Chain A
């Protein structure tokens, strides 16, 4: 208890079940802190954190920055669009330049899978992966599980279906690892073209009928169709996708039981999820965003306490 088995958060793959429980218990305390009238604690006064984003992000970047500030860390932000990366600087050079300004921790999002792992082997700082290509997005998976735990009491034994663009989704992969680690049953559902080959080898089942999948599950995590990552056409039209794999109020109301709806954001309203479902009381999308700050505070706090 009370120490993580890792010094970087590169992916859920490298965590064990105890780590996840420790992060959740710490996040419980921080959730109480961020609901106070004064939402700030001075723990990380002597820690400097660099947020390095080589890919666009609104929610994750804001959430990390807020978490860092609530812990009183000093924060520097860097986005690739306005940087020397454009002039041909390598990743290690960029980060080492930032680190020579005495930075203790790096939060990085990068379009290439494994960028965080590469960095952790070459750079002396604690690394948090905020999404690396279609590989992993560990804090999102943690906050998703944390939200399920908050809503349903426990993750163990729950049935979760992940719907949509599994192929391009780092959220899906991290979620599968996290849910399996906590003893949940996972199903994926989406058009055949957007399901990776051999996905069953991760211990999940595949379903192509959305209604069947929804009737089976306790929680449905609706993923965004990642048009920006699609180099070819994976389905005929957006309208057809919405009809086959989008969830709407009629479908939701016709199910045998009340299920919990989640979405990692940003939402394409009317594509994977209709507006009335996104705003319904079964949806915990905004709770996910709130929990995101608490989870990120917990991860940063725990990793920072292990910096030697």
Chain B
């Protein structure tokens, strides 16, 4: 095989050419800023339909990437739908993950900002992309450290179908995507990355 390869020009069209720095990478826009705007408003309305005045409901964004979505939804609910009071928390799940010492890099923690107990509350967990479901599994364990919630729901902006490792499904979903495992969904937020856009990247 080694010998065979030597006779094929390196940049042959028939061979996938991959080396450091020269990785073939294509990205296409999955959702534009306008589509994200519409979806966020729909999700806000769906939350409103089920939770009305949010008096017994708390929204919890999963750190680091889910916190942007949670903060944005809270803002929409308050400004456009006149909800007076929403409890918003940010939860870091690093210490609850099941891949400690199994990855290449040590896990890096973010801060948890939960200044209320979830005892008896309806909790809505919020994350940007639902993929294997393992983060949500960790979040379900982590949330127990703050009390026993009445019920827990899940909201995700992107739901990657057919890639789940665990029996976890969202209650509210922005867009369902059939992405293969080699592809990656990347969510960018205006407040962090300069613009609202979601890419599907072929690795």
Contact = CB atoms under 8 A, between A and B. Distances in A.
Contacts of B147: 37
Contacts of B106: 2-3, 302, 305-306
A46 B102 CA distance: 12
B107 interface: yes
A29 interface: yes
Given A37-B146, A40-B145, A304 B111 contact: no
B100 A44 contact: yes
B27 interface: no
Contact of B145 (A28, A36, A46, A301): A36
Nearest to B97: A43
Contacts of A40: 145
Nearest to A306: B106
Contact of B105 (A3, A41, A42, A307): A3
A197 B112 CA distance: 48
Nearest to A4: B106
B101 interface: yes
A33 interface: yes
Contacts of A36: 145-146
Indicate the size class of the contact surface on chain A. Answer: 20 to 34
Contact of B112 (A32, A71, A302, A304): A32
Contacts of B100: 43-44, 46, 304-305
A37 B117 contact: yes
A42 to B, nearest CB: 6
Contact of B146 (A29, A38, A41): A38
B188 to A, nearest CB: 22
B78 to A, nearest CB: 26
B54 interface: no
Tell me which of A42, A71, A301 has the highest count of chain B C-beta atoms within 10 A of its own C-beta.
Answer: A42
Nearest to B114: A36
Contacts of A38: 144-146
A145 to B, nearest CB: 20
B111 A29 contact: yes
A185 interface: no
Interface string B108-123: 1101100001000000
Nearest to A1: B108
Interface in B125-164: 141, 144-147
Interface in B73-124: 92, 94-97, 100-101, 105-109, 111-112, 117
A304 B94 CA distance: 14
A41 B96 contact: yes
Contact of B95 (A28, A37, A41): A41
Contacts of B117: 37
Contacts of A1: 108
A71 B94 CA distance: 12
Interface in A1-59: 1-3, 26, 28-29, 32-33, 36-38, 40-44, 46
A301 B107 CA distance: 10
Contact of A2 (B101, B108, B141, B146): B108
Nearest to A2: B108
B95 A305 contact: no
Contacts of B144: 38
A40 B146 CA distance: 11
A43 B146 contact: no
Tell me which of B92, B105, B106, B107 has the highest count of chain A C-beta atoms within 10 A of its own C-beta.
Answer: B106
Contacts of B146: 36-38
Nearest to A297: B95
Tell me which of A28, A41, A71 has the highest count of chain B C-beta atoms within 10 A of its own C-beta.
Answer: A41
- Top 4 nearest A-B pairs (CB, nearest first) are A41-B95, A305-B106, A38-B145, A43-B95
Interface of B: 92, 94-97, 100-101, 105-109, 111-112, 117, 141, 144-147
29 contacts: A1-B108, A2-B105, A2-B106, A3-B105, A29-B94, A29-B109, A29-B111, A29-B112, A32-B111, A33-B95, A33-B112, A33-B145, A36-B145, A37-B117, A37-B145, A38-B146, A41-B145, A42-B95, A42-B96, A43-B95, A43-B100, A44-B100, A46-B101, A71-B95, A301-B95, A302-B106, A304-B101, A305-B100, A305-B106
